[in-house]
A and B are shown apart, each in its own frame.
Chain A
Amino acid sequence: METLITGLTIFVLAIYVGVEIIVKVPPTLHTPLMSGSNAISGITAVGAVISAGSGQSDVATWLGFGALILATTNVVGGFVVTHRMLGMFKKKH
């Protein structure tokens, strides 16, 4: 029960922080914001590493392996494409 309450506390506070930061992002950058935050949601790769590496059960290992490939694609692709897009936003002098 205690871990649940801690988790919920963190969850609610993080949502609040997220809202405060995101409302300040100008519409011009909303697409990079989506692809960048999307890359962050690939954090599930952390869970996949644990499942794939723990060798507890065969099914869990292979599920973890699958999750790891998918989440890593999400993470790497998301950050790279965001970087590519942001490189286009320039100001001429």
Chain B
Amino acid sequence: MRENLINLTYLFASLLFILGLKGLGHPRSAVKGNLLGAFGMFIAIAATLVDRRVLSFELIAFGLAIGSVLGTVMAIKVQMTAMPQLVALFNGLGGVASTFVAGAALYEAQQPSTQQQLLQAIGAGGGPELHFLVATVAAGIVGTVTFTGSVVAFAKLQEIFDWPGFTGVQVLNGLLVAASLGLGVWITVEPSALNVFWMLTLVAGTLGFFLVVPIGGADMPVVIALLNSYSGIAAAASGFVLQNNVLIISGALVGASGIILTQNMCKAMNRSLANVMFAKLGPKAGGSSADEVYGGRVKSTTAEEVAMILESASRVVIVPGYGLAVSQAQHAVRDLTQILEDRGVLVEFAIHPVAGRMPGHMNVLLAEAEIDYDKMKEMDEINPTFGQVDVALVIGANDVVNPLARTDPKSPIAGMPILDVDHARTVIIMKRSLSPGFAGIPNPLFAADNTLMFYGDGKKALLDLNAALKAL
């Protein structure tokens, strides 16, 4: 009876998770959706406390208290620019927790005084059933890969570590995959060899480390999304270990979410997941050099001139890139928007899917600066309208507005969907220099007839521009 009640509560919690994620489909319902999810989690954990396997509550209360304080402090302290790091870290924590849970279950399965619910997991021969062991191995591998991979992603995003690895790192990764699978098979054959489980986590941990080491910069969004998916898969695997449906359902939901976002990010770069994970992006031989592209054709401009152009425009589209976030210029952009709107100019934001360091990152940064979410336009929505745009103002973006993606099939970014800012009447590029973006190639947009280069650090240039506009 008690088991049934607990399971029904788990079902209710799963429903709340689904409704909560559904609520995230619109900014209006999102806050409520998130609260529904949190409530679902609360009742799932509360129901588990009445499980008859749970005998001592002191340790649990202590663990819940420590975790709640740590989580709350991190969530409140974090800067919005550091959101990718925090999500990476949380992914990693969830992953390693799943590994521990699976490991604990493996230890418990060795106990002679196995209780009733564990009997279900025990086969006729006396040892644990095969699928229990396979799930344990899966949770061990995926959870630990998620953990070390997330730690590397965190360190890279935090810029405390940027070792790009060595040639042949993928060969090592192949060996590590083979080794962890081999150890996994060993566990299924010899479940009482508990040390093998820890060897497995060691190998999988090394694998996670070296999988993420070669990835950097603009490819980070893909990694974060993928690790998000892995943390879900690890939770689902530990659900199979414990035969617990709420773990399986939640893990599957998160796994699905992460995979969709991963695919979105790959599509936005026109690269396969394998290419992002295993190949290096860079200029190929035969591409035009910077001198050929720019040679004498680049026109530079001043804050005063840009102010006059913007003042006489009726529709302005701002294209924010990661450079904007780096120079903490979101609030200056908000002020610029305000000044222009006060003068009757229509201002919108065109956001490329990979503009930030994680999916949707740029939108959060703009929302933090109190920019209306209705003004943030997706690429597919705004691209057909660039022909009617008077001024496209590109701030700290490069590859995502490079027309070579459309015109040069040999370019490393060939086929990548870009924002068609070159179709606007005037394009103003705010950038420190002509230096290339992540793809390492020159951008012919900078030398186009309708383009003006406004050199400067994002924030300072914007402040100058705002001052010039006010002086008009």
A contact residues vs B (CB 8 Å cutoff): 1, 3-4, 7, 10-12, 14-19, 21-57, 59-61, 63-92
Is A89's CB under 8 angstroms from B239's CB? no
In Å, the complex CA distance between A57 and B402 comes to 60
What would 7 A/B residue contacts be, using CB atoms closer than 8 Å? A18-B252, A27-B363, A33-B257, A37-B257, A48-B104, A53-B55, A69-B63
- B261: contacting residue among A12, A30, A57, A79, CB under 8 A: A30
B144 interface hit (Cβ, 8 Å): no
A11 & B41 in contact (Cβ 8 Å cutoff): no
Does residue B180 face the partner (Cβ distance < 8 Å to A)?
no
Which residues of A have CB within 8 Å of B246?
A: 43, 46
Say yes or no for B71: interface residue by CB 8 A criterion.
yes
Whether the pair A72, B67 counts as a contact (CB closer than 8 A) is yes
Across the A-B interface, how many residue pairs have beta carbons closer than 8 Å? 390
Q: Which one of A38, A46, A89 lies within 8 Å of B45 (CB-CB)?
A: A46
Sort A-B residue pairs by CB-CB distance and give the 3 closest, nearest first: A72-B67, A30-B360, A18-B256
Judged by a CB distance under 8 angstroms, whether B258 is at the interface is yes
The answer to the question of B404 belonging to the interface, with a C-beta cut-off of 8 Å to chain A, is no
Whole-angstrom CA separation of A89 from B63 in the bound complex: 33
The answer to whether A57 and B108 touch (CB under 8 A), given A15-B256, A33-B360, A45-B97, is yes
Which residue in chain B gives the minimum CB-CB distance to A49? B48
Q: How many Å lie between the Cα of A31 and that of B362 in the bound state?
A: 9
Q: Are A77 and B17 in contact (CB under 8 A)?
A: no
CB-CB < 8 A to B224: which residues of A? 34
Contact indicator B54/A49 (Cβ below 8 Å): yes
Q: Which of A3, A41, A50, A81 contacts B78 (CB 8 A)?
A: A81
Which chain A residues lie closer than 8 Å to B239 at the CB level? 7, 47
CA distance A77 to B115 in the complex (A): 34
B257 and A82 contacting across the interface, CB-CB below 8 Å? no
Give chain B residues whose Cβ lies under 8 Å from the Cβ of A70: 67, 93-94, 96-97, 100
18 additional A-B residue pairs with CB within 8 Å, beyond A32-B34, A51-B101, A72-B66:
A11-B240, A14-B14, A14-B252, A27-B264, A33-B24, A34-B225, A34-B257, A35-B83, A38-B94, A41-B254, A44-B234, A45-B41, A50-B54, A50-B242, A52-B60, A55-B55, A68-B63, A81-B74
Chain A residue numbers with a CB within 8 Å of B426 are: none
A22 and B257 contact, CB distance less than 8 A? yes
List residues of B (237-257) whose CB comes within 8 Å of A's CBs.
238-257
Contact indicator A68/B110 (Cβ below 8 Å):
no
Nearest CB on A from B136, distance (A): 12
| Cα A60 to Cα B114 with chains together (Å) | 13
Asked whether B231 lies within 8 Å of A31 as measured between CB atoms, the reply is no
- Could you tell me if A56 and B27 are in contact, using CB atoms closer than 8 angstroms? no
B444 is an interface residue with CB less than 8 A from chain A: no
Smallest CB gap from B376: residue in A = A28
Task: Flag if B256 contacts A67 (CB, 8 Å).
Answer: no
Q: Does residue B57 face the partner (Cβ distance < 8 Å to A)?
A: yes
B67 touches A26 (CB 8 A): no
B34 touches A82 (CB 8 A): yes
Which B9-44 residues have C-beta < 8 A from chain A?
14, 17-18, 20-22, 24-27, 30-31, 33-35, 37-38, 40-41, 44
Chain A residues, CB < 8 A from B49 = 49, 53
Let me know if B98 is at the binding interface, CB within 8 A: yes
Q: Find B97's partner among A11, A12, A48, A91 (CB 8 Å cutoff).
A: A48
Partner of A56, one of B67, B111, B253, B351: B111
Please give me the residue from chain A that is nearest to B359 by CB atom: A30
Asked whether A43 lies within 8 Å of B78 as measured between CB atoms, the reply is: no
- B253→A40 contact, CB < 8 A: yes
Say how far A47's CB is from chain B's closest CB, in angstroms.
4
Contact between B236 and A67, CB atoms less than 8 A apart? no
Q: Judging by beta carbons under 8 Å apart, are B25 and A26 in contact?
A: yes
Residues of A within 8 A of B129 (CB): 1
Return B122 CB to nearest CB of chain A, in Å.
Answer: 12
Residue from the list B31, B110, B253, B376 in contact with A37, Cβ < 8 A = B253
Indicate which residue in B37, B55, B64, B364 contacts A39 across the interface (CB closer than 8 Å).
B37
CB neighbours of B68 from chain A (8 A)? 72-73, 76
Query: CA–CA, A10 to B252, complex, Å?
Result: 9
Q: Which of A22, A53, A54, A73 contacts B70 (CB 8 A)?
A: A73
Contact A80 B250 (CB under 8 A): no
